[in-house]
Amino acid sequence: MDMLDPSADEIRAWGNSVIELMTEYLGGLRDRGVYRHMFSRRIRDRLDPALPTKGTHFDELLKVFREDIIPFSRQNAHPRMFGYVQSPGTPLAAFADLLASTLNANLTVWRSAPAPVELERLTIDWIRQILGFNAEAGGLFVSGGSMANLVGIAMARQTKDHSSGRLRIYASSETHFSIIKAAALLGIGRENVRNVAVDERFRIRIDDLVAKITADLDAGYVPSCVVANAGTVNTGAIDPLAEIREVADRFQLWMHVDGSYGAFAVLAESARKLFVGMEQADSIALDPHKWLYLPVDVGCVIYRDPEIARATFAQEAEYTRMFGEEADEAFVCWDYGPELSRRFRALKVWMLLKGIGLDSLDAAIERNLACARYLESMVRASDDFEMVSAVELSIFCFRHVPAQLKSQTPKAIDAFNERLLVALQRDGSSYLSNATLGGRFALRGCVLNYRTTLRDMEILLDDLRRVAKSLPASA
Ligand SMILES: Cc1ncc(COP(=O)(O)O)c(C=O)c1O
């Protein structure tokens, strides 16, 4: 058997085995734990470390995947995987990834991948319409939200003459660290990202924003960009976007929105009004591999003015010079973003949007929002749980305070919840992560899975109560 270039029959046989495994895995998801406690050594011991000089049969490779990789992975598609901002993936997109790798299109320029680039343009334009951006806006698929934020901040830097002083960026204290990383990578400097205070709902405070910009102007800095959150990673807070636009206009700043977690919730009727003003941003980072349920990796950046993207990223070289092309066919993807070789990410976005349709996606996002609100209502009605922040979108932050803990100090309650989190993760029935809010520890969950039901939210609280009983009240 030629493992490098298998025959049609062999490809079919491999494919059938893979599909068999996939259906078995997805069919049995609810019966699996989300997570099991593991040790690096135990996993390494299962893997053959010898440098493979001879090949291995496909069935053997699949066996390793089935027996040594699946059971020792966190099951991100599980309906009670509430940690971080984790998408479940979907079979449609898994097939799209398979097909994208089969075609192995490389989206560097139009002529390298004509139909794939057209599909990317089309899907980017659908996303532009979903957001309500201007008709001339452009964008690109990138690896994820961090990369999309980097692109936005790079464009902001491009638009400001900073010969007279250091650039400054303004972002709330709740902003994702990828913004600070972008500032560091782009030479702006971590120290030039100003940490703006938040209100009681963790939204940026406009008075503090204006005060910081004014103080910086007085001190000779060059204010260049304000980052607005459309769903913070801790609590899902949405900054006052329309007001931020006004401040940006007043001080001639670039407005970048980090919508990596939250922006696709604009599709849901019950959340739409929170996003008013988002469509006025100069650039926005989004993550289809979060709330469009797609598997990693696919992030997206949309910008109002493609010419600014071009001014930021265009780079000429003799080995990439193009001959005899014009207009649309001369489109050069690398002029609009940082990457040269790019996989065919658009295929899974297109298959998802076209295959599922916005009506069903709206409904799925609406169900996620309903799950978080239901959890909040159960917590507020209980006498052993309390919310740490109000639910804004599908993130919920809360803590467990059983009767024997009520008289204890905040520090002791935080320590108990920290131990509870570790014990819950090891138990495996439900998975939460954590947040620090106002200096206090919080259990944090995020509903980002179309499989999650109201019943799963009840099971989560039951799991916490059950696991808590096995913990001592103090360490
Ligand atoms: C608000 C926010 N921004 C940016 C990111 C980074 O996105 P990625 O992990 O796709 O790089 C995240 C990730 O969770 C996020 O929640």
From 103, 128, 100, 104, select the one nearest 300 (Cα to Cα): 128
In one letter, which amino acid is 300? C
Dist. CA 144 → ligand 1 center (Å): 7
Sign of the C-alpha dihedral computed for residues 18, 19, 20 and 26 taken in this order: positive
Phi, psi of 160 (to 5 degrees): -115, 130
Angle at the Cα of 356 (from 129 to 303), degrees rounded to 5? Answer: 25
In one letter, which amino acid is 165? G
From 236, 281, 276, 233, select the one nearest 257 (Cα to Cα): 281
pLDDT in the model for residue 322: 62
pLDDT band at 29 (very low <50, low <70, confident <90, very high): very high
The span from the CA of 179 to the CA of 461, in Å, is 34
Closest residue CA from atom 5 of ligand 1:
145
Dist. CA 153 → ligand 1 center (Å): 15
- The arithmetic mean of pLDDT across residues 386-409, rounded, is 97
Measured from the Cα of 231, ligand 1's closest atom is 1
Closest residue CA from atom 8 of ligand 1:
145
Dist. CA 129 → ligand 1 center (Å): 22
Q: Cα-atom radius of gyration of the chain, to the nearest Å?
A: 24
- Show the tokens assigned to 377: 């209502």
Q: What is the pLDDT of residues 431-446, one digit of tens each?
A: 999 999 999 999 999 9
pLDDT in the model for residue 166: 96
Dist. CA 262 → ligand 1 center (Å): 10
pLDDT band at 318 (very low <50, low <70, confident <90, very high): low
pLDDT in the model for residue 186: 97
Dist. CA 395 → ligand 1 center (Å): 14
Measured from the Cα of 232, ligand 1's closest atom is 1
Ligand 1 probe mutation, 176, 238, 256, 444, most atoms within 8 A of CB: 176
Closest residue CA from atom 4 of ligand 1:
145
Peptide bond into 362 cis (omega under 30): no
Q: What is the pLDDT of residues 42-69, one digit of tens each?
A: 999 999 999 999 999 999 999 999 999 9
Ligand 1 probe mutation, 81, 142, 174, 178, most atoms within 8 A of CB: 178
CA trace torsion 128, 145, 78, 473 (10° rounding): -130
Give CA 331 to chain center in angstroms.
Answer: 28
pLDDT in the model for residue 331: 87
Residues contacting 345, CB < 8 A, separation 6+? 100, 120, 141, 297, 298
The residues lining ligand 1, judged by C-beta closer than 6 Å to any ligand atom, are 85, 144-146, 176, 178, 233, 258, 260-261, 287, 299
Q: Answer yes or no: is pLDDT of 316 > 80.
A: no
Q: What is the pLDDT of residues 253-306, one digit of tens each?
A: 999 999 999 999 999 999 999 999 999 999 999 999 999 999 999 999 999 999
Strands 299-303 and 254-259: what pairing? unpaired
Measured from the Cα of 287, ligand 1's closest atom is 10
The span from the CA of 192 to the CA of 184, in Å, is 9
Q: Answer yes or no: is pLDDT of 473 > 90.
A: no
Closest residue CA from atom 14 of ligand 1:
85
Strands 299-303 and 385-389: what pairing? unpaired
State the chain's mean pLDDT as an integer.
96
- Show the tokens assigned to 386: 């309390």
- The arithmetic mean of pLDDT across residues 131-144, rounded, is 98
Q: Answer yes or no: is pLDDT of 475 > 80.
A: no
**Considering the entire predicted model, what is its pTM?**
0.96
- Show the tokens assigned to 473: 């009240």
pLDDT in the model for residue 321: 61
H-helix or E-strand spanning residue 99: helix 91-103
The span from the CA of 449 to the CA of 175, in Å, is 23
pLDDT in the model for residue 1: 78
Dist. CA 466 → ligand 1 center (Å): 32
pLDDT in the model for residue 201: 97
- The arithmetic mean of pLDDT across residues 375-380, rounded, is 98
Ligand 1 probe mutation, 233, 257, 289, most atoms within 8 A of CB: 233
Residues contacting 167, CB < 8 A, separation 6+? 157, 160, 188, 192, 221, 222, 223, 224, 225
Other CB atoms within 10 Å distance of the CB of residue 34: 23
- The 3-state DSSP class for residue 403 equals helix
Other CB atoms within 10 Å distance of the CB of residue 304: 23
Measured from the Cα of 147, ligand 1's closest atom is 11
Phi, psi of 315 (to 5 degrees): -150, 125
Dist. CA 310 → ligand 1 center (Å): 24
- The 3-state DSSP class for residue 443 equals strand
Q: Answer yes or no: is pLDDT of 353 > 90.
A: yes
CA contacts within 13 A on the Cβ side of 262? 29
pLDDT in the model for residue 76: 98
Measured from the Cα of 297, ligand 1's closest atom is 10
pLDDT in the model for residue 310: 95
Q: Answer yes or no: is pLDDT of 324 > 90.
A: no
Other CB atoms within 10 Å distance of the CB of residue 346: 28
**Beta bridge partners of residue 440, listed in sequence order:** 437
Dist. CA 306 → ligand 1 center (Å): 23
Other CB atoms within 10 Å distance of the CB of residue 428: 18
- The arithmetic mean of pLDDT across residues 343-355, rounded, is 98
In one letter, which amino acid is 57? H
Dist. CA 261 → ligand 1 center (Å): 6
Q: What is the pLDDT of residues 228-239, one digit of tens each?
A: 999 999 999 999
- Show the tokens assigned to 237: 């807070």
Q: Answer yes or no: is pLDDT of 329 > 90.
A: no
In one letter, which amino acid is 88? P
Q: What is the pLDDT of residues 406-419, one digit of tens each?
A: 999 999 999 999 99
Measured from the Cα of 262, ligand 1's closest atom is 1
**Beta bridge partners of residue 257, listed in sequence order:** 228, 284
Residues contacting 437, CB < 8 A, separation 6+? 202, 234, 235, 388, 389, 397
Q: Answer yes or no: is pLDDT of 454 > 80.
A: yes
- The arithmetic mean of pLDDT across residues 437-461, rounded, is 97
Q: What is the pLDDT of residues 70-127, one digit of tens each?
A: 999 999 999 999 999 999 999 999 999 999 999 999 999 999 999 999 999 999 999 9
Other CB atoms within 10 Å distance of the CB of residue 97: 20
